[in-house]
Amino acid sequence: MSGLPNIDVEGLRSFIPEDEIYRWLKETRHPTRKRVREVIERSLNKNRLTPREMAVLINADSPRLVREIFDGARLLKKRIYGNRIVLFAPLYVGNECVNKCVYCGFRGDNTELHRKTLLSDELVAEVEALEDSGHKRLIMVYGEHPQYDAQYIHDTVRKVYRVKKGPGEIRRVNINAAPLAVAGFELVKKAGIGTYQIFQETYHRETYERMHPAGPKSNYLWRLFALDRAMTAGIDDVGIGALLGLYDWRFELMSLLYHTIHLEETFHVGPHTISFPRLEPAIGTDIGKLTQEHAVSDYDFRRLVAILRLAVPYTGLILTCRESVELRNEMLSFGVSQIDGGSSIAVGSYAASGSNDFKKSQFLLGDNRSLDEVVRELCDAGFIPSFCTGCYRRGRTGEHFMEFAIPGFVKRFCAPNAVLTFLEYLNDYASGETLAAGLKQIEREIENMAESEAKDELFERMERVKAGERDLYF
Protein backbone atom coordinates (compact mmCIF):
# COMPACT_ATOMS: atom_id res chain seq x y z
CA MET A 1 0.00 0.00 0.00
CA SER A 2 2.97 2.32 -0.26
CA GLY A 3 3.39 5.11 -2.76
CA LEU A 4 0.83 7.08 -4.72
CA PRO A 5 -1.97 5.21 -6.48
CA ASN A 6 -1.64 4.04 -10.05
CA ILE A 7 -4.13 6.43 -11.63
CA ASP A 8 -6.38 4.75 -14.17
CA VAL A 9 -9.58 6.48 -15.28
CA GLU A 10 -9.98 4.85 -18.68
CA GLY A 11 -13.59 4.72 -19.77
CA LEU A 12 -14.89 7.18 -17.19
CA ARG A 13 -17.01 10.12 -18.26
CA SER A 14 -17.75 13.14 -16.14
CA PHE A 15 -21.20 13.25 -14.55
CA ILE A 16 -21.03 17.07 -14.43
CA PRO A 17 -22.98 18.18 -17.55
CA GLU A 18 -21.53 21.63 -18.08
CA ASP A 19 -23.76 22.56 -21.04
CA GLU A 20 -26.87 21.43 -19.17
CA ILE A 21 -25.91 23.50 -16.12
CA TYR A 22 -25.53 26.62 -18.24
CA ARG A 23 -28.85 25.87 -19.96
CA TRP A 24 -30.77 25.56 -16.68
CA LEU A 25 -29.21 28.76 -15.37
CA LYS A 26 -30.21 30.55 -18.57
CA GLU A 27 -33.73 29.14 -18.92
CA THR A 28 -34.74 29.94 -15.33
CA ARG A 29 -33.74 33.60 -15.32
CA HIS A 30 -36.17 36.06 -13.70
CA PRO A 31 -38.41 33.48 -12.00
CA THR A 32 -41.80 34.59 -10.74
CA ARG A 33 -42.57 34.79 -7.05
CA LYS A 34 -45.11 32.00 -7.54
CA ARG A 35 -42.49 29.70 -9.08
CA VAL A 36 -39.95 30.40 -6.32
CA ARG A 37 -42.57 29.64 -3.69
CA GLU A 38 -43.45 26.38 -5.43
CA VAL A 39 -39.81 25.28 -5.28
CA ILE A 40 -39.47 26.27 -1.63
CA GLU A 41 -42.67 24.40 -0.78
CA ARG A 42 -41.38 21.26 -2.49
CA SER A 43 -38.25 21.49 -0.33
CA LEU A 44 -40.28 22.04 2.83
CA ASN A 45 -42.00 18.76 2.02
CA LYS A 46 -38.49 17.29 2.45
CA ASN A 47 -37.83 16.55 -1.21
CA ARG A 48 -34.39 16.87 -2.73
CA LEU A 49 -34.62 19.48 -5.48
CA THR A 50 -33.86 18.92 -9.15
CA PRO A 51 -31.10 20.90 -10.89
CA ARG A 52 -33.71 23.02 -12.67
CA GLU A 53 -35.38 23.83 -9.34
CA MET A 54 -32.05 24.78 -7.80
CA ALA A 55 -31.42 27.05 -10.80
CA VAL A 56 -34.74 28.79 -10.08
CA LEU A 57 -33.55 29.62 -6.55
CA ILE A 58 -30.14 30.74 -7.79
CA ASN A 59 -31.81 33.15 -10.21
CA ALA A 60 -34.23 34.44 -7.56
CA ASP A 61 -31.94 37.35 -6.75
CA SER A 62 -34.32 40.17 -5.88
CA PRO A 63 -34.23 41.16 -2.18
CA ARG A 64 -37.83 40.05 -1.64
CA LEU A 65 -37.27 36.59 -3.13
CA VAL A 66 -33.97 36.16 -1.31
CA ARG A 67 -35.75 36.85 1.99
CA GLU A 68 -38.28 34.12 1.14
CA ILE A 69 -35.43 31.71 0.42
CA PHE A 70 -33.85 32.56 3.78
CA ASP A 71 -37.17 32.07 5.57
CA GLY A 72 -37.71 28.73 3.85
CA ALA A 73 -34.22 27.52 4.74
CA ARG A 74 -34.73 28.50 8.40
CA LEU A 75 -38.01 26.63 8.57
CA LEU A 76 -36.61 23.52 6.87
CA LYS A 77 -33.57 23.41 9.12
CA LYS A 78 -35.76 23.70 12.20
CA ARG A 79 -38.05 20.90 11.00
CA ILE A 80 -35.26 18.44 10.26
CA TYR A 81 -32.40 19.34 12.60
CA GLY A 82 -34.08 21.17 15.45
CA ASN A 83 -31.70 23.31 17.50
CA ARG A 84 -28.71 20.97 17.23
CA ILE A 85 -25.30 22.11 16.05
CA VAL A 86 -22.69 19.35 15.78
CA LEU A 87 -19.16 20.31 16.84
CA PHE A 88 -15.82 18.96 15.67
CA ALA A 89 -12.18 19.99 15.29
CA PRO A 90 -9.68 19.60 12.45
CA LEU A 91 -6.40 17.81 13.19
CA TYR A 92 -3.68 18.43 10.61
CA VAL A 93 -1.36 15.42 10.59
CA GLY A 94 1.13 16.51 7.93
CA ASN A 95 1.58 19.17 5.26
CA GLU A 96 3.93 17.37 2.86
CA CYS A 97 2.42 17.44 -0.65
CA VAL A 98 3.44 16.55 -4.19
CA ASN A 99 0.73 18.58 -5.92
CA LYS A 100 1.15 22.12 -7.24
CA CYS A 101 -2.31 23.60 -6.68
CA VAL A 102 -1.80 27.30 -7.35
CA TYR A 103 -4.07 28.47 -4.50
CA CYS A 104 -2.78 26.21 -1.71
CA GLY A 105 -0.07 26.85 0.86
CA PHE A 106 0.72 23.11 0.99
CA ARG A 107 1.68 22.87 -2.69
CA GLY A 108 4.92 21.03 -3.26
CA ASP A 109 6.87 23.92 -4.78
CA ASN A 110 6.05 26.41 -2.01
CA THR A 111 9.40 27.10 -0.34
CA GLU A 112 7.90 29.51 2.21
CA LEU A 113 5.93 26.78 4.01
CA HIS A 114 7.50 25.01 6.99
CA ARG A 115 7.01 21.29 6.30
CA LYS A 116 5.98 19.14 9.22
CA THR A 117 4.57 15.66 9.81
CA LEU A 118 3.57 14.72 13.34
CA LEU A 119 5.71 12.08 15.00
CA SER A 120 3.91 9.39 16.98
CA ASP A 121 4.31 11.13 20.35
CA GLU A 122 3.38 14.47 18.79
CA LEU A 123 0.16 13.00 17.40
CA VAL A 124 -0.72 11.71 20.87
CA ALA A 125 0.00 15.14 22.37
CA GLU A 126 -2.28 16.81 19.82
CA VAL A 127 -5.13 14.41 20.58
CA GLU A 128 -4.68 14.83 24.34
CA ALA A 129 -4.86 18.60 23.94
CA LEU A 130 -8.09 18.26 21.95
CA GLU A 131 -9.52 15.90 24.54
CA ASP A 132 -8.57 18.34 27.28
CA SER A 133 -10.77 20.94 25.60
CA GLY A 134 -13.70 18.53 25.35
CA HIS A 135 -13.70 17.43 21.72
CA LYS A 136 -15.12 14.01 20.77
CA ARG A 137 -15.15 14.30 16.96
CA LEU A 138 -12.16 15.05 14.72
CA ILE A 139 -11.46 15.38 11.05
CA MET A 140 -7.89 14.36 10.33
CA VAL A 141 -6.30 16.21 7.41
CA TYR A 142 -3.38 14.91 5.33
CA GLY A 143 -1.43 16.34 2.41
CA GLU A 144 -1.09 14.25 -0.74
CA HIS A 145 2.28 12.55 -0.49
CA PRO A 146 3.62 8.95 -0.70
CA GLN A 147 4.25 9.14 3.04
CA TYR A 148 0.50 9.48 3.71
CA ASP A 149 -0.66 6.29 2.02
CA ALA A 150 -3.62 4.14 3.06
CA GLN A 151 -1.59 2.20 5.62
CA TYR A 152 -0.37 5.44 7.23
CA ILE A 153 -3.89 6.84 7.40
CA HIS A 154 -5.16 3.57 8.90
CA ASP A 155 -2.42 3.47 11.52
CA THR A 156 -2.75 7.12 12.59
CA VAL A 157 -6.52 6.81 12.89
CA ARG A 158 -6.16 3.73 15.09
CA LYS A 159 -3.66 5.55 17.26
CA VAL A 160 -6.03 8.48 17.74
CA TYR A 161 -8.81 6.16 18.87
CA ARG A 162 -6.47 4.63 21.48
CA VAL A 163 -5.63 7.95 23.15
CA LYS A 164 -7.59 8.43 26.39
CA LYS A 165 -6.90 11.23 28.82
CA GLY A 166 -9.05 11.59 31.92
CA PRO A 167 -12.68 11.45 30.81
CA GLY A 168 -11.60 12.38 27.28
CA GLU A 169 -11.75 10.20 24.20
CA ILE A 170 -12.21 10.66 20.48
CA ARG A 171 -15.30 8.74 19.41
CA ARG A 172 -15.39 9.57 15.73
CA VAL A 173 -12.54 10.28 13.33
CA ASN A 174 -13.45 11.67 9.93
CA ILE A 175 -10.85 11.95 7.17
CA ASN A 176 -9.90 14.60 4.62
CA ALA A 177 -7.20 13.07 2.46
CA ALA A 178 -6.15 12.37 -1.10
CA PRO A 179 -8.11 9.96 -3.31
CA LEU A 180 -7.19 6.29 -3.00
CA ALA A 181 -7.75 3.17 -5.05
CA VAL A 182 -10.52 0.84 -3.86
CA ALA A 183 -8.06 -1.37 -1.96
CA GLY A 184 -6.73 1.67 -0.12
CA PHE A 185 -10.22 2.74 0.88
CA GLU A 186 -10.93 -0.79 2.11
CA LEU A 187 -7.91 -0.60 4.41
CA VAL A 188 -8.84 2.84 5.74
CA LYS A 189 -12.39 1.63 6.44
CA LYS A 190 -10.96 -1.07 8.73
CA ALA A 191 -9.59 1.68 10.98
CA GLY A 192 -13.17 2.58 11.91
CA ILE A 193 -13.37 5.97 10.25
CA GLY A 194 -16.55 8.02 10.08
CA THR A 195 -16.88 10.23 7.00
CA TYR A 196 -14.33 10.23 4.17
CA GLN A 197 -14.26 13.74 2.75
CA ILE A 198 -12.82 14.74 -0.62
CA PHE A 199 -13.50 18.13 -2.22
CA GLN A 200 -13.43 18.50 -5.98
CA GLU A 201 -12.32 22.13 -5.33
CA THR A 202 -13.85 23.27 -8.64
CA TYR A 203 -16.11 21.18 -10.85
CA HIS A 204 -15.42 23.38 -13.88
CA ARG A 205 -12.97 21.24 -15.80
CA GLU A 206 -11.02 23.96 -17.62
CA THR A 207 -10.57 25.91 -14.38
CA TYR A 208 -9.69 22.72 -12.51
CA GLU A 209 -6.90 21.89 -14.93
CA ARG A 210 -5.54 25.44 -14.74
CA MET A 211 -5.57 25.45 -10.94
CA HIS A 212 -3.99 21.99 -10.64
CA PRO A 213 -1.14 22.01 -13.18
CA ALA A 214 0.93 19.11 -11.79
CA GLY A 215 0.79 16.17 -9.41
CA PRO A 216 -1.80 13.40 -9.00
CA LYS A 217 -4.47 16.00 -8.28
CA SER A 218 -4.14 17.32 -11.83
CA ASN A 219 -6.26 14.36 -12.98
CA TYR A 220 -9.83 15.69 -12.88
CA LEU A 221 -11.60 12.36 -13.31
CA TRP A 222 -9.47 10.48 -10.77
CA ARG A 223 -10.60 12.97 -8.15
CA LEU A 224 -14.18 13.26 -9.40
CA PHE A 225 -14.75 9.51 -9.02
CA ALA A 226 -12.83 9.18 -5.74
CA LEU A 227 -15.93 8.81 -3.61
CA ASP A 228 -17.33 6.22 -6.01
CA ARG A 229 -14.27 4.12 -5.16
CA ALA A 230 -14.73 4.83 -1.46
CA MET A 231 -18.35 3.70 -1.56
CA THR A 232 -17.42 0.66 -3.63
CA ALA A 233 -15.00 -0.17 -0.81
CA GLY A 234 -17.84 -0.04 1.72
CA ILE A 235 -17.43 3.50 3.05
CA ASP A 236 -21.04 4.65 2.88
CA ASP A 237 -20.52 7.93 4.71
CA VAL A 238 -18.83 10.49 2.45
CA GLY A 239 -18.53 14.25 2.17
CA ILE A 240 -18.25 16.44 -0.92
CA GLY A 241 -17.34 20.10 -1.31
CA ALA A 242 -16.21 22.93 -3.54
CA LEU A 243 -13.68 25.68 -2.87
CA LEU A 244 -15.66 28.81 -3.67
CA GLY A 245 -13.80 31.54 -5.49
CA LEU A 246 -12.04 29.45 -8.11
CA TYR A 247 -15.01 29.63 -10.50
CA ASP A 248 -18.60 30.97 -10.60
CA TRP A 249 -20.36 29.90 -7.40
CA ARG A 250 -23.59 29.29 -9.32
CA PHE A 251 -21.92 26.64 -11.43
CA GLU A 252 -20.28 25.06 -8.37
CA LEU A 253 -23.60 24.91 -6.52
CA MET A 254 -25.28 23.16 -9.43
CA SER A 255 -22.35 20.76 -9.69
CA LEU A 256 -22.59 19.85 -6.01
CA LEU A 257 -26.21 18.89 -6.63
CA TYR A 258 -25.26 16.83 -9.69
CA HIS A 259 -22.61 15.07 -7.60
CA THR A 260 -25.27 14.34 -4.99
CA ILE A 261 -27.61 12.95 -7.63
CA HIS A 262 -24.83 10.81 -9.11
CA LEU A 263 -24.13 9.18 -5.75
CA GLU A 264 -27.84 8.68 -5.08
CA GLU A 265 -28.37 7.00 -8.45
CA THR A 266 -25.22 4.88 -8.24
CA PHE A 267 -25.19 3.90 -4.55
CA HIS A 268 -28.74 4.74 -3.41
CA VAL A 269 -27.52 7.34 -0.93
CA GLY A 270 -26.07 10.81 -1.36
CA PRO A 271 -23.25 12.49 0.57
CA HIS A 272 -23.59 12.76 4.32
CA THR A 273 -22.12 16.28 4.27
CA ILE A 274 -21.45 19.13 1.87
CA SER A 275 -18.78 21.77 2.52
CA PHE A 276 -18.43 25.14 0.80
CA PRO A 277 -15.25 26.85 2.02
CA ARG A 278 -14.28 30.16 0.47
CA LEU A 279 -10.79 30.74 -0.85
CA GLU A 280 -8.61 32.28 1.88
CA PRO A 281 -5.09 33.78 1.90
CA ALA A 282 -2.30 31.20 2.05
CA ILE A 283 1.42 31.62 2.58
CA GLY A 284 3.28 32.02 -0.70
CA THR A 285 0.07 32.57 -2.70
CA ASP A 286 -1.17 35.75 -4.38
CA ILE A 287 -4.79 35.61 -3.25
CA GLY A 288 -5.62 38.84 -5.04
CA LYS A 289 -5.00 37.45 -8.50
CA LEU A 290 -7.00 34.32 -7.77
CA THR A 291 -10.14 35.98 -6.43
CA GLN A 292 -10.60 38.96 -8.70
CA GLU A 293 -13.14 37.37 -11.07
CA HIS A 294 -15.01 34.83 -8.94
CA ALA A 295 -14.83 36.14 -5.37
CA VAL A 296 -17.97 35.31 -3.39
CA SER A 297 -19.41 38.21 -1.40
CA ASP A 298 -20.85 37.69 2.08
CA TYR A 299 -24.31 38.35 0.66
CA ASP A 300 -23.99 35.69 -2.04
CA PHE A 301 -22.40 33.34 0.48
CA ARG A 302 -25.50 33.58 2.67
CA ARG A 303 -27.69 33.01 -0.37
CA LEU A 304 -25.85 29.92 -1.57
CA VAL A 305 -25.94 28.27 1.85
CA ALA A 306 -29.70 28.83 2.11
CA ILE A 307 -30.16 27.45 -1.43
CA LEU A 308 -28.08 24.37 -0.57
CA ARG A 309 -30.16 23.80 2.55
CA LEU A 310 -33.33 23.80 0.49
CA ALA A 311 -31.84 21.68 -2.29
CA VAL A 312 -30.59 18.81 -0.10
CA PRO A 313 -32.77 18.71 3.02
CA TYR A 314 -31.12 15.69 4.69
CA THR A 315 -27.49 16.49 3.93
CA GLY A 316 -25.35 18.03 6.66
CA LEU A 317 -23.87 21.44 5.80
CA ILE A 318 -20.46 22.28 7.28
CA LEU A 319 -19.27 25.84 7.95
CA THR A 320 -15.69 26.14 9.17
CA CYS A 321 -13.57 28.64 11.05
CA ARG A 322 -12.43 30.12 7.75
CA GLU A 323 -15.38 32.49 8.16
CA SER A 324 -15.79 35.33 10.65
CA VAL A 325 -17.57 34.91 13.97
CA GLU A 326 -20.37 37.25 12.93
CA LEU A 327 -21.06 35.45 9.66
CA ARG A 328 -20.90 32.01 11.24
CA ASN A 329 -23.35 32.99 13.96
CA GLU A 330 -25.78 34.41 11.44
CA MET A 331 -25.74 31.38 9.16
CA LEU A 332 -26.45 28.82 11.86
CA SER A 333 -30.16 29.50 11.67
CA PHE A 334 -30.72 28.98 7.97
CA GLY A 335 -28.72 26.03 6.88
CA VAL A 336 -25.57 25.03 8.72
CA SER A 337 -25.68 21.88 10.85
CA GLN A 338 -21.98 21.32 11.68
CA ILE A 339 -19.20 23.70 12.70
CA ASP A 340 -15.71 23.41 14.10
CA GLY A 341 -14.69 25.17 17.29
CA GLY A 342 -11.42 26.00 18.98
CA SER A 343 -9.66 25.13 15.74
CA SER A 344 -5.96 25.29 14.94
CA ILE A 345 -4.79 24.40 11.44
CA ALA A 346 -1.02 24.54 11.81
CA VAL A 347 0.54 21.10 12.15
CA GLY A 348 1.29 20.50 15.84
CA SER A 349 -0.47 23.62 17.09
CA TYR A 350 -2.93 22.22 19.67
CA ALA A 351 -0.23 20.96 22.03
CA ALA A 352 1.49 24.34 21.61
CA SER A 353 -1.49 26.13 23.19
CA GLY A 354 -3.30 26.63 19.89
CA SER A 355 -0.51 28.61 18.26
CA ASN A 356 -1.61 28.95 14.63
CA ASP A 357 1.77 29.27 12.95
CA PHE A 358 0.90 30.64 9.51
CA LYS A 359 4.09 29.15 8.05
CA LYS A 360 2.80 25.65 8.86
CA SER A 361 -0.80 26.34 7.83
CA GLN A 362 -2.81 25.81 4.66
CA PHE A 363 -4.69 29.13 4.95
CA LEU A 364 -5.84 31.77 7.48
CA LEU A 365 -8.69 31.39 9.97
CA GLY A 366 -11.43 33.95 10.53
CA ASP A 367 -12.73 32.56 13.85
CA ASN A 368 -10.19 31.99 16.63
CA ARG A 369 -12.59 31.47 19.55
CA SER A 370 -11.97 28.66 22.02
CA LEU A 371 -14.37 25.71 22.08
CA ASP A 372 -15.71 26.94 25.41
CA GLU A 373 -16.54 30.33 23.89
CA VAL A 374 -18.20 28.75 20.85
CA VAL A 375 -20.31 26.50 23.07
CA ARG A 376 -21.42 29.36 25.32
CA GLU A 377 -22.40 31.56 22.39
CA LEU A 378 -24.35 28.71 20.82
CA CYS A 379 -26.34 28.35 24.03
CA ASP A 380 -26.95 32.08 24.25
CA ALA A 381 -28.32 31.96 20.70
CA GLY A 382 -30.70 29.10 21.55
CA PHE A 383 -28.80 26.17 20.03
CA ILE A 384 -27.92 22.86 21.66
CA PRO A 385 -24.27 21.89 21.01
CA SER A 386 -23.85 18.24 20.13
CA PHE A 387 -20.81 15.96 20.34
CA CYS A 388 -22.89 12.95 19.37
CA THR A 389 -21.45 9.97 17.49
CA GLY A 390 -24.35 7.60 18.13
CA CYS A 391 -25.57 7.11 14.56
CA TYR A 392 -22.11 6.18 13.37
CA ARG A 393 -21.59 3.59 16.10
CA ARG A 394 -25.14 2.21 15.87
CA GLY A 395 -24.64 1.66 12.16
CA ARG A 396 -27.07 4.41 11.16
CA THR A 397 -24.99 5.50 8.18
CA GLY A 398 -25.51 5.48 4.44
CA GLU A 399 -28.88 4.00 3.43
CA HIS A 400 -29.58 3.05 7.05
CA PHE A 401 -29.27 6.70 8.10
CA MET A 402 -31.73 7.77 5.41
CA GLU A 403 -34.20 5.13 6.60
CA PHE A 404 -34.30 7.01 9.89
CA ALA A 405 -33.80 10.52 8.58
CA ILE A 406 -36.42 10.72 5.84
CA PRO A 407 -39.42 9.85 8.09
CA GLY A 408 -38.23 12.53 10.51
CA PHE A 409 -36.68 10.23 13.10
CA VAL A 410 -33.48 12.28 13.31
CA LYS A 411 -34.88 14.29 16.20
CA ARG A 412 -35.91 11.09 17.98
CA PHE A 413 -32.28 9.97 18.23
CA CYS A 414 -30.21 13.09 17.71
CA ALA A 415 -31.88 15.51 20.13
CA PRO A 416 -31.56 13.17 23.16
CA ASN A 417 -28.02 12.20 22.15
CA ALA A 418 -27.13 15.87 21.80
CA VAL A 419 -28.34 16.52 25.34
CA LEU A 420 -26.38 13.58 26.77
CA THR A 421 -23.10 14.43 25.05
CA PHE A 422 -23.49 18.11 25.86
CA LEU A 423 -24.13 17.29 29.51
CA GLU A 424 -20.88 15.30 29.50
CA TYR A 425 -19.04 18.32 28.13
CA LEU A 426 -20.56 20.65 30.71
CA ASN A 427 -19.67 18.37 33.62
CA ASP A 428 -16.13 17.61 32.43
CA TYR A 429 -14.80 20.69 30.63
CA ALA A 430 -16.96 23.80 30.71
CA SER A 431 -16.05 27.04 32.43
CA GLY A 432 -18.44 28.28 35.11
CA GLU A 433 -20.11 30.75 32.77
CA THR A 434 -20.54 28.18 30.03
CA LEU A 435 -21.82 25.59 32.52
CA ALA A 436 -24.59 27.94 33.63
CA ALA A 437 -25.54 28.83 30.06
CA GLY A 438 -25.45 25.20 29.00
CA LEU A 439 -27.67 23.89 31.79
CA LYS A 440 -30.26 26.56 30.98
CA GLN A 441 -30.19 25.55 27.33
CA ILE A 442 -30.66 21.88 28.21
CA GLU A 443 -33.69 22.83 30.31
CA ARG A 444 -35.19 24.72 27.37
CA GLU A 445 -34.50 21.82 25.02
CA ILE A 446 -36.17 19.27 27.27
CA GLU A 447 -39.19 21.52 27.83
CA ASN A 448 -39.78 21.47 24.08
CA MET A 449 -39.68 17.67 23.87
CA ALA A 450 -42.99 15.86 23.77
CA GLU A 451 -43.79 13.62 26.73
CA SER A 452 -42.86 10.03 25.92
CA GLU A 453 -41.11 6.92 27.18
CA ALA A 454 -38.00 8.12 25.35
CA LYS A 455 -38.07 11.38 27.30
CA ASP A 456 -38.39 9.45 30.56
CA GLU A 457 -35.42 7.33 29.54
CA LEU A 458 -33.46 10.48 28.70
CA PHE A 459 -34.01 11.78 32.24
CA GLU A 460 -32.76 8.47 33.64
CA ARG A 461 -29.63 8.57 31.48
CA MET A 462 -28.97 12.19 32.38
CA GLU A 463 -28.86 11.21 36.03
CA ARG A 464 -26.36 8.49 35.17
CA VAL A 465 -24.18 11.03 33.35
CA LYS A 466 -24.30 13.35 36.35
CA ALA A 467 -23.22 10.39 38.50
CA GLY A 468 -20.14 9.88 36.33
CA GLU A 469 -21.17 7.46 33.58
CA ARG A 470 -20.08 8.38 30.08
CA ASP A 471 -20.85 7.53 26.49
CA LEU A 472 -24.57 6.86 26.87
CA TYR A 473 -26.52 7.21 23.63
CA PHE A 474 -29.70 6.12 21.91
pLDDT digits (tens, 9 = 90+) for 208-236: 999 999 999 999 999 999 999 999 999 99
Segments making up each domain of the chain, as ranges:
18-61, 78-386, 396-466
Q: Note the pLDDT of residue 365.
A: 78
Note if the pTM is more than 0.95. Answer: no
Quote the percentage of the chain above a pLDDT of 70: 91
Kindly indicate the confidence band of residue 1, based on its pLDDT and cuts at 50, 70 and 90: very low
* Averaged confidence pLDDT in the chain: 91
446 C-beta neighbours (distance < 10 Å), count: 16
Which of 283-292, 335-344, 374-383 has the lowest average pLDDT? 283-292
pLDDT of residue 398: 61
Residue 161 has pLDDT above 70, yes or no: yes
224 contact partners, CB below 8 Å, separation of at least 6? 12, 14, 15, 16, 200, 203
Contact 55, 254 (CB under 8 A): yes
Give the pLDDT mean for 290-299: 85
Q: How far is CA 408 from CA 8, 18, 313, 385, 402, in A?
A: 41, 34, 11, 20, 10
- Give me the pLDDT at residue 363, please: 65
Q: Distance (Å, rounded) from C-alpha 325 to C-alpha 369?
A: 8
Quickly state the pLDDT bin for 358 (edges 50, 70, 90): low
Which pLDDT score, from 0 to 100, does residue 2 have?
A: 40
pLDDT surpassing 60 at residue 308:
yes
HSE value, Cβ hemisphere, 13 Å, CA-based, for 452: 9
Is 90 exceeded by the pLDDT of residue 275? yes
Concatenated DSSP letters of 400-469 = HHHHHHTTTTHHHHHHHHHHHHHHHHHHHT--HHHHHHHHHHHHHHHHTSPPSHHHHHHHHHHHHHHTT-
Look at phi and psi of residue 238 and say left if phi exceeds 0, alpha if psi is from -120 to 50, else beta: beta
428, pLDDT greater than 70 = yes
Give residue 131's pLDDT: 98
Q: What is the mean pLDDT of residues 166-173?
A: 96
User: Sorting pLDDT into bands at 50, 70 and 90, what band is 305?
Assistant: very high
Are residues 395 and 454 in contact, defined by beta-carbon separation less than 8 angstroms?
A: no
CA 21 to chain CA centroid, nearest Å = 25
**Helix, strand, coil: what percent of the chain each, to 5?**
50, 10, 40
Higher-scoring residue by pLDDT: 248, 286: 248
DSSP string, 307-321: HHHHHSTTSEEEE-T
Contact, 198 vs 226, CB < 8 A? Answer: yes
Alpha carbon distances (Å) from 67 to 43, 197, 314: 16, 32, 22
Contacts of 469 (CB under 8 A, 6+ apart): none
pLDDT at 55: 98
Q: Is 330 exposed, middle or buried (0-12, 13-18, 19+ CB in 10 A)?
A: middle
pLDDT at residue 249 tops 90: yes
pLDDT for 3: 44
Question: How would you classify residue 245: left for phi > 0, otherwise alpha for psi between -120 and 50, otherwise beta?
Answer: left
Average pLDDT over residues 3-24: 83
Asked whether residue 413 carries a pLDDT value surpassing 90, the answer given is no
- What distance in Å separates the CA atoms of residue 139 and residue 141, rounded to the nearest whole number? 6
CATH number (2.60.120.260, 2.70.70.10, 3.10.180.10, 3.20.20.70) of 78-386 reads: 3.20.20.70
- pLDDT score, position 307: 98
Confidence check: pLDDT of 199 > 70: yes
Q: What is the pLDDT of residues 102-130, one digit of tens each?
A: 999 899 999 989 999 999 999 999 999 99
What confidence score (pLDDT) does residue 283 get?
Answer: 80
pLDDT of residue 399: 60
Q: Is the pLDDT of residue 11 over 90?
A: no
pLDDT at res. 222: 97
How many beta carbons lie within 10 A of that of residue 411, not counting itself?
Answer: 18
pLDDT bin (cut points 50, 70, 90) of residue 402 is low
